[in-house]
């Protein structure tokens, strides 16, 4: 339903839908972030991404809809600033200038990626019994 006539998906809406589907419990995501970096939750609440136009603050105590939108906006803005960095444009990622700031975004992105992988994965059931041989 978010696909345009030319077949291209709206990336921002797609990311938001993915977050909501695979991370239904924001407290689990928050705990994952804290496990990676105990100071990250406060950082995301008080500090925007300095090299982006729309690196939203994330307040995990806010209502869930707003938290999902803030996570989406922060990740999307960070990704675009890194991927679309061009000489002469302002508010774009510059490797030696912004490397520490980019490093602060890793706990969020890592926790989101891990939660999506865990939530979307199927369990693998191993059978160590050879089906061609019957057990005594």
132: in domain: no
127: in domain: no
Neighbour count for residue 114 (Cβ, 10 Å):
14
pLDDT band at 130 (very low <50, low <70, confident <90, very high): low
**Cβ proximity of 67 and 58 under 8 Å:** yes
123: in domain: no
pLDDT band at 8 (very low <50, low <70, confident <90, very high): low
Residue 20: predicted pLDDT:
96
pLDDT digits (tens, 9 = 90+) for 71-99: 999 999 898 888 876 665 566 777 788 88
pLDDT band at 119 (very low <50, low <70, confident <90, very high): very high
Residue 11: predicted pLDDT:
86
Domain of 101?
Answer: 11-113
81: in domain: yes
7: region left, alpha or beta (phi > 0 left; psi from -120 to 50 alpha): left
The total of structural domains in the chain comes to 1
134: in domain: no
Q: Give the whole-angstrom CA distance, residue 92 versus residue 49.
A: 10
pLDDT band at 124 (very low <50, low <70, confident <90, very high): confident
What mean pLDDT do residues 118-127 have? 84
64: in domain: yes
pLDDT band at 40 (very low <50, low <70, confident <90, very high): very high
- pLDDT higher for 128 or 89? 128
Residue 33 CB contacts under 8 Å (≥ 6 apart), including other chains: 40, 41, 44, 107, 108, 111
122: in domain: no
83: in domain: yes
Question: Exposed, middle or buried, 120 (CB in 10 Å: 0-12/13-18/19+)?
Answer: exposed
């Amino acid at each position: 339903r978010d696909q345009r006539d030319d077949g291209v998906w709206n990336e921002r809406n797609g990311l938001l839908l993915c977050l909501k589907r695979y991370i239904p419990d924001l407290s689990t995501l928050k705990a994952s972030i804290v496990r990676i970096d105990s100071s990250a939750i406060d950082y995301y609440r008080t500090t925007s991404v300095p090299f982006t136009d729309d690196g939203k603050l994330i307040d995990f105590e806010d209502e869930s809809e707003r938290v999902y939108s803030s996570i989406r906006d922060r990740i999307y803005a960070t990704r675009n600033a890194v991927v679309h960095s061009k000489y002469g444009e302002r508010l774009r990622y510059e490797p030696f200038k912004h490397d520490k700031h980019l490093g602060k975004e890793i706990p969020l992105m890592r926790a989101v990626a891990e939660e999506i992988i865990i939530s979307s994965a199927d369990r693998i059931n191993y059978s160590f019994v050879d089906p061609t041989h019957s057990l005594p």
